[in-house]
Amino acid sequence: MSAKDAGEHCDWTVTGMDCASCATKITTALNRLPGVADVQVGVMSERLTVSLDAAQTSRDVVEAAVRKLGFGIAAKGASVERKKPFVMPGTVHDHTGHAQSGHHHTGHDHARHDAPPPFDPSAPDPTHGQDTAHGGPGHSHATDPKDRDKRWFQTAKGRLVLGTGLLLAAAWAVKLFASESLAYYAFFAACLIGVAPVAQRAFNALRAGIPFTIEALMTIAAIGALFIGAAEEAALVVFLFAVGEVLEGVAADRARASIRALADLVPKTALLEENGTTREVDAASLAIGQRVLVRPGERIPADGEIVEGSSGVDESPVTGESVPKTKGPGDAVFAGSINAEAALRITVSKSAEDNTIARIIALVEEAETARAPTERFIDRFSRLYMPAIVGLAVLVAIVPPLVSAAAWDIWIYRALALLLIGCPCALVISVPASIASALSSGARRGMLMKGGAVIEAAARTSRVAFDKTGTLTLGKPTVTDVITLGATEAEILAVAAGVETGSSHPLAEAILRRAAAAGVAALPATEAKALIGKGAQAMVDGAAAWVTSPRYGVEIGALDAAGLERAAAMEQDGKTVVVVFRENRALGLIAMRDEPRADALEAVRQLQAMGVSAIMLTGDNARTGAAIAGLMGMDHRAELMPEDKVTEIKAMAAQGGVIMVGDGINDAPALAAATVGVAMGSGTDVALETAAAALLRNRVTDVAAMIRLARAAMANIRQNVALALGLKAVFLLTTVLGMTGLWIAILADTGATVLVTLNALRLLRFDPERER
């Protein structure tokens, strides 16, 4: 994507971000640049997007501003060597602002029927920010993409830890083997050398309009400690700060691991068939319409449709469904799925950047920017917290000496220690770390939730509304009875099939299947049209004919009381009945049953055990709706037109919220009106795009699992917030009372950030399918 046009959308990968405070720095700095708008920074996805007017600010200026803050930055998808290349959604840029294609590799693909490789934190990241470990201030916070190929002690942050550690050890050696006075100067030098890059970052942030940063507080505390003669403790604090940054980086990287692991599912190469020959090509270069060969045991390289062969396909890497599905010609398959049994020839239906896994990754990344209300509140709180701590530190430093003639050095020391616990990193990372872990955990199980706001809403919702057809039922009704009223069974099926020919409605397809099975040909029909909520009509064999609900048949005088009574009797058994008639003459009744899904009853039971009520919404007649709802033990609303469903959903949403579950197509208006709209579907575009959440495995029980995951995420957030604020409160009090010093304060600050991140990572191991 080029930024030459005003307001162009630009996308970068930013490395070195450990918490939401890092995102705030970048956002604040870029918002000060002319021509930059709509800045979005994802900490866990390492993503930066802006709307850029290149006439006012170039891409290079944006990148330079980010690098000055100590972060690595590169255009999204820039050509950097990766162990498992993957084209992410969106166009790729080079540093000149011109569009380029995704990075392509050649070579043999070893994608066989093995488990996806575990995430390797040393895997190179798709960025090419400068290595700031040498020559250049502010380097300690930046992450060189090359650092991802190295052990921690080979990275820029690791080298800073080793450097400050060696300086500190040397100073202690001087203290041990030489005089105290000489050791003081050694600690003094160790502190200055170690704090220099931190001070440079603080200065760059100050120039960008961000005065209150942990780097600024750290610099003030270290230099202040030198002025009051606490050189040894100042040097120790600088070293512990560097160690803390490495730990925070490792913890944050672990939180990103599961998202990155999704990209590893797509094989690097594919076997392309052209002109009777097969050759190996880069999977990312496959174009729509090309044909690929997938041998047994290999991963499917692209979304497509099988044109030859039948085989069991393991879709668990994409949807989380553990049981392989037997698929043959005409069936759709997903990139990353495993062909388990026989060779398949597949026509590519989607490009690499638009396949299902790419879209899932994009949705998870974009979901991070859809912040939960709790996160927005904490962000506002944190903006006040740090200035308040700085103000409190100033008061602690000057009030006791002025009021009670206390020793200046003691209270200045306590004020400096107070500064070190003034960073809200642990607090602001407490929500996004939990949200990112929950999103990743859900994505691995085929449960996509579009952001923290969705998770928070799902966690507090106590009512779920289900569409009946295709959601609670299989969506494939079968004809159970054909009742003759004024014609033979063959005549009834011939007329009904004529009216329904070309329709994709489940009831129409059931009638057509029954006619075909009976060897009855559909009569020729014209002028077919749907009667919304009532049925269908057409000119069949030159005369008008209808297939409608019994109620509509009575309304227009085609069905008498006896016929209505027979229809009602079948509806009492949970069957859907239609009447087939011509002008004022009923030909017969056709009864159909749509069987409930095998897990629908279990899903309702699980929801009720969680204190969540379930209600079924259907356009079917009241007797059929009552029969099915009674079988499942849930409430229902029947005979609803599409607009009636929206009205019902809006009413429930106004009474404490409701989750609406539908197929993502026919129920789009109701899904949009719900507090949380959930689309059930196997990776279809509509299922991924229209609703606030999507269940790719097509399991009704996943609704309960999604709510469990959302509730676990919110409980995790509450734990993190309590942990972060609790530690801050304890050490704030002990610092003012003189019970803790500088090095304990920095340990408390770093420790809190690491603890809340590690606590959030527990969600990656949370099993939402297990009842609690």
Active site amino acids: 467
The 10 Å Cβ neighbour count of residue 416 is 29
Whose tokens are 């993503």? That residue is 47
Q: What single-letter amino acid sits at 421?
A: I
* DSSP code per residue over 575-640: -EEEEEEETTEEEEEEEEE-PBPTTHHHHHHHHHHTT-EEEEE-SS-HHHHHHHHHHHT-EEE-S-
d(CA 285, CA 282): 5
SS3 content of the chain, % helix, strand, coil (to 5): 50, 20, 35
Q: Exposed/middle/buried for 766, CB within 10 Å: 0-12, 13-18, 19+? A: middle
- Under 8 Å between Cβ of 759 and 724: no
CA-based max dimension of the chain: 116
- Host H or E run for residue 748: helix 742-761
Find the Cα–Cα–Cα–Cα dihedral 200, 201, 207, 212, rounded to 10°: -120
- Under 8 Å between Cβ of 9 and 51: yes
- Under 8 Å between Cβ of 343 and 293: yes
- Cβ within 8 Å of residue 530, ≥6 positions away: 503, 505, 536
d(CA 293, CA 289): 13
3-state SS assignment for residue 82: coil
Let me know how many helices (H) and strands (E) the chain has, helices first.
23, 28
Q: Exposed/middle/buried for 504, CB within 10 Å: 0-12, 13-18, 19+? A: exposed
CA atoms within 13 A of residue 308's CA, in its CB half-sphere = 8
d(CA 635, CA 648): 13
d(CA 723, CA 752): 7
Q: Alpha-carbon torsion 553, 555, 561, 564, what sign?
A: positive
- Under 8 Å between Cβ of 378 and 721: yes
d(CA 124, CA 691): 34
CA atoms within 13 A of residue 304's CA, in its CB half-sphere = 31
Q: Which two tokens stand for residue 702?
A: 């996943």
- Under 8 Å between Cβ of 684 and 668: no
- Under 8 Å between Cβ of 617 and 648: yes
d(CA 574, CA 594): 9
Whose tokens are 């559909």? That residue is 522
CA atoms within 13 A of residue 169's CA, in its CB half-sphere = 6
* DSSP code per residue over 238-286: HHHHHHHHHHHHHHHHHHHHHHHHHHTTS-SEEEEEETTEEEEEEGGG-
Whose tokens are 């501003």? That residue is 65
d(CA 445, CA 221): 47
d(CA 528, CA 453): 44
